[in-house]
C-alpha cells in the first residue's frame, strides 16, 4: 500500500473545507465500484498501474479535499496526506474470465483496498488487481461523507480522461476532462453544531448483522413486461420505478412482512414496524437556480414513501407515492433542509425510536450513468460491478454491459435473502447471471 498525494500542493486558502449539513448527516461508508479491463497487448500491467498512480496524483490536485482527512464531522483538513493505493495479484484463479463466470458481490470485496465500513476519516481508496491472463481490476472507493453517486462518477471520468489525454491545462467547457465544478456547498447548506458522525445516515437505521448480497439481472423484455404490469391510466412507470415496485412487492410477499398493523390485546407493548422506502434524489436540477450537473459534492436528498397496509394495486401503492414524493422536492424545500427540516426530521425519528421500529428500504440507481464509457487509455471496461454491503434492505440498479437490461444488486438480511432468491416470480423474471467476456 502506498499513499498517493496530489501532484501539486493545495493552496493555503483551500486547506479548510467546511462540511455542509448534508455532508454532516451523510455516512462515512465507502461506495465501492470495481471496473474490469481485459489485457492490452500494447501495455503491461505495470505500465498501466504506473499510469493510474501518476494520473491519480494529477486528478487529486483538482479534487484536493479527497487527499485530506475528516475532522470532528465539521471540516476536512486538506493537508495533502494522500489517498491509499494498493497493488495486488489475484492468486485464486488463473484468468479474469474464470473469476467473472458468475460473480457475486462478496467475490468483489476481495478486490477492495478497504471493507466498505472501514472508511473512518479516509475519503478515497483505490486498488489495482492483476490476473494471470493479463486482465486487471481497478477498484474505486469514495466516502459518502464528501460525495454522492454522481460526484463519484465525475471524479472517475476526470481521472480516466487525465490518464488517457493528459492533465487539465485550463478550464474549457468543450473539454470533457474539465467536467467538475467545485462550489462552497456549506454556504448553501450551512453546517449544524454537534451532529455526531453518521447521525443522519440511512445506514444507521438499516438492518445489520448477517447480510447477503446478490446480483439479479433483468433483461429488457422482462423490464417492459413489468412496466406494462404496473401501468395505470395516468401513470406509466419508468424502468427503475417498475423494478422498485416489483422487488419491493416480492420482498414483502416472499418474506412474510406485515404491512398492516393488527390490533392486539393490551399486554406487552411491542414496537410497530414502519417501513419507509427511500429513493435518493439529485438536487442539482431541483435548486433555484439549478446547480450545474458537474458540481462535485453531496447534492442529494431522499424522497420517502410509506407503503399502503394492503396490496390493492399490486405494489402496496408505492408507485404513485414514489413519484409524488420525488416531485415534492423543489428548490425552496431543499434550501430549508440545509439547516432546519433535514435535521429535525432525524430528531423526530430518534424521538419515535421507543415506539416505532423505523425500517428503511433503499432503492438507488446508477442506471444511465455511463460507467462503460470510462477509458483510461487501454479501452473501456469489460464489466463493472459493485461490492457487498454490511447493511441490509438496499438495492442498487446498474445498467448491463450490453445496454437495455438492468442489474439489481440486492442486499438483504441472510434469512430474508434465503426466501427472496427462490421466490417464483423473481425467478421467472431474472436472466442468467453468468458473464461471457
The mean pLDDT value for 113-129 works out to 85
Residue 27 inside a domain? The answer is yes
Q: What cell numbers appear for 61 in the block?
A: 490536485
Range of the domain at 89: 2-188
Condensed to tens digits (0 to 9), the pLDDT of residues 368-402 reads 899 999 999 999 999 999 988 888 999 999 999 98
Whole-number pLDDT of residue 268: 55
Per DSSP, the three-state class of 167 is coil
Lowest mean pLDDT among 332-336, 407-411, 418-422, 432-436: 332-336
* 288 shares a domain with 168: no
Whole-number pLDDT of residue 179: 45
Condensed to tens digits (0 to 9), the pLDDT of residues 24-44 reads 988 888 889 999 999 999 999
Query: Per the structure, how many domains does the chain have?
Result: 2
* 254 shares a domain with 169: no
Domain boundary among 188, 222, 238: 188
* 306 shares a domain with 243: yes
Residue predicted with more confidence, 411 or 199: 411
Lowest mean pLDDT among 174-188, 284-298, 408-422: 174-188
Categorize the per-residue pLDDT at 333 as very low, low, confident or very high, splitting at 50, 70 and 90: low
Burial-class residue 43 by CB neighbours within 10 Å (0-12, 13-18, 19+): middle
Condensed to tens digits (0 to 9), the pLDDT of residues 195-215 reads 665 555 555 556 667 899 999
Categorize the per-residue pLDDT at 79 as very low, low, confident or very high, splitting at 50, 70 and 90: very high
Categorize the per-residue pLDDT at 433 as very low, low, confident or very high, splitting at 50, 70 and 90: confident
Domain boundary among 125, 156, 188: 188
Residue 348 inside a domain? The answer is yes
* 256 shares a domain with 324: yes
C-alpha–C-alpha distance, residues 392 and 389, integer Å: 7
Whole-number pLDDT of residue 101: 87
* 331 shares a domain with 303: yes
First to last CA, the chain: 30
Whole-number pLDDT of residue 317: 85
pLDDT, mean over the chain: 85
Spatial CB neighbours of 246, under 8 Å, sequence gap ≥ 6 = 226, 229, 230, 315, 425, 429
C-alpha–C-alpha distance, residues 29 and 116, integer Å: 6
Whole-number pLDDT of residue 332: 67
Closest CA to 29 of 135, 124, 153: 124
C-alpha–C-alpha distance, residues 34 and 138, integer Å: 6
Whole-number pLDDT of residue 181: 77
Whole-number pLDDT of residue 173: 36
Categorize the per-residue pLDDT at 192 as very low, low, confident or very high, splitting at 50, 70 and 90: confident
Condensed to tens digits (0 to 9), the pLDDT of residues 44-73 reads 999 999 999 999 999 999 999 999 999 999
Whole-number pLDDT of residue 363: 95
Give the DSSP H or E segment for 249: helix 239-255
Residue 338 has pLDDT above 80, yes or no: no
* 393 shares a domain with 278: yes
Residue 302 has pLDDT above 60, yes or no: yes
Lowest mean pLDDT among 38-47, 91-100, 133-142, 259-268: 259-268
Residue predicted with more confidence, 163 or 355: 163
Report yes or no: 333 and 284 within 8 Å, Cβ to Cβ.
no
Categorize the per-residue pLDDT at 171 as very low, low, confident or very high, splitting at 50, 70 and 90: very low
pTM for this one? 0.89
Alpha-carbon distances, residue 162 vs 3, 53, 146, 311 (angstroms)? 19, 11, 22, 51
How far does CA 42 lie from the centroid of its chain? Answer: 33
Proportion of the chain in helix, strand, coil states, percent, rounded to 5: 30, 25, 45
Residue predicted with more confidence, 115 or 347: 115
Residue 8 inside a domain? The answer is yes
C-alpha–C-alpha distance, residues 205 and 349, integer Å: 10
CATH number assigned to the domain comprising residue 153: 3.30.559.10
Q: What are φ and ψ of residue 34, in 5° steps? A: -130, 125
* 222 shares a domain with 147: no
* 177 shares a domain with 93: yes
The mean pLDDT value for 218-240 works out to 93
C-alpha–C-alpha distance, residues 363 and 246, integer Å: 12
Domain boundary among 125, 153, 188: 188
Residue predicted with more confidence, 331 or 255: 255
The rounded radius of gyration (Å) of the Cα atoms in the chain is 22
* 27 shares a domain with 89: yes
C-alpha–C-alpha distance, residues 72 and 289, integer Å: 32
Whole-number pLDDT of residue 260: 59
* 138 shares a domain with 254: no
Lowest mean pLDDT among 134-143, 153-162, 255-264, 340-349: 340-349
Lowest mean pLDDT among 94-98, 193-197, 362-366, 418-422: 193-197
Residue 218 inside a domain? The answer is yes
DSSP classification of residue 293 = T
Amino acid at each position: 500500500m502506498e499513499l498517493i498525494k496530489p501532484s501539486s500542493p493545495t493552496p493555503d486558502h483551500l486547506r479548510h473545507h467546511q462540511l455542509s449539513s448534508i455532508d454532516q448527516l451523510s455516512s462515512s461508508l465507502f461506495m465501492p465500484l470495481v471496473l474490469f479491463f481485459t489485457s492490452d497487448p500494447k501495455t503491461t500491467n505495470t505500465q498501466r498501474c504506473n499510469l493510474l498512480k501518476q494520473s491519480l496524483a494529477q486528478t487529486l490536485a483538482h479534487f484536493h479535499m479527497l487527499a485530506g482527512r475528516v475532522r470532528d464531522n465539521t471540516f476536512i483538513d486538506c493537508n495533502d496526506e494522500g489517498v491509499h493505493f494498493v497493488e495486488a495479484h489475484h492468486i485464486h484463479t488463473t484468468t479474469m474470465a474464470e473469476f467473472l463466470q458468475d460473480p457475486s458481490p462478496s467475490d468483489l470485496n476481495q478486490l477492495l483496498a478497504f471493507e466498505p465500513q472501514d472508511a473512518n476519516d479516509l475519503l478515497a481508496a483505490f486498488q489495482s488487481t492483476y490476473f494471470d491472463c493479463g486482465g486487471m481490476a481497478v477498484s474505486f472507493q469514495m466516502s459518502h461523507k464528501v460525495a454522492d453517486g454522481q460526484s463519484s462518477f465525475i471524479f472517475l471520468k476526470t481521472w480516466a480522461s487525465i490518464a488517457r489525454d493528459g492533465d487539465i491545462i485550463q478550464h474549457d467547457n468543450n473539454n470533457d476532462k474539465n467536467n467538475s465544478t467545485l462550489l462552497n456547498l456549506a454556504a448553501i447548506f450551512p453546517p449544524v453544531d454537534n451532529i455526531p458522525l453518521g447521525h443522519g445516515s440511512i445506514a444507521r437505521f438499516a438492518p445489520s448483522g448477517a447480510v447477503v448480497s446478490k446480483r439479479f439481472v433483468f433483461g429488457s423484455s422482462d423490464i417492459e413486461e413489468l412496466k406494462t404490469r404496473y401501468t395505470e391510466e395516468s401513470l406509466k412507470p419508468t424502468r427503475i420505478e417498475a423494478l422498485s415496485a416489483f422487488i419491493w412487492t416480492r420482498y414483502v410477499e416472499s418474506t412474510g412482512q406485515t404491512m398492516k398493523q393488527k390490533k392486539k390485546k393490551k399486554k406487552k407493548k411491542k414496537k410497530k414496524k414502519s417501513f419507509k422506502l427511500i429513493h435518493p434524489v439529485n438536487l442539482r436540477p431541483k435548486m433555484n437556480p439549478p446547480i450545474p450537473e458537474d458540481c462535485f459534492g453531496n447534492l442529494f436528498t431522499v424522497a420517502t414513501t410509506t407503503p399502503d397496509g394492503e396490496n390493492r394495486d399490486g405494489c402496496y401503492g408505492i408507485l404513485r407515492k414514489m413519484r409524488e414524493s420525488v416531485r415534492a422536492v423543489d428548490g425552496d424545500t431543499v434550501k430549508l433542509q440545509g439547516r432546519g427540516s433535514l435535521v429535525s426530521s432525524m430528531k423526530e425519528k430518534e424521538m419515535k425510536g421507543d415506539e416505532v421500529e423505523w425500517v428503511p428500504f433503499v432503492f438507488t440507481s446508477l442506471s444511465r450513468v455511463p460507467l462503460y464509457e470510462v477509458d483510461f487509455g487501454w479501452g473501456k471496461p469489460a464489466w463493472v460491478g459493485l461490492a457487498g454491503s454490511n447493511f441490509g434492505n438496499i438495492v442498487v440498479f446498474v445498467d448491463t454491459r450490453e445496454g437495455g437490461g438492468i442489474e439489481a444488486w440486492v442486499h438483504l438480511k441472510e434469512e430474508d435473502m434465503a426466501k427472496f432468491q427462490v421466490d417464483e416470480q423473481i425467478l421467472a423474471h431474472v436472466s442468467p447471471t453468468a458473464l461471457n467476456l
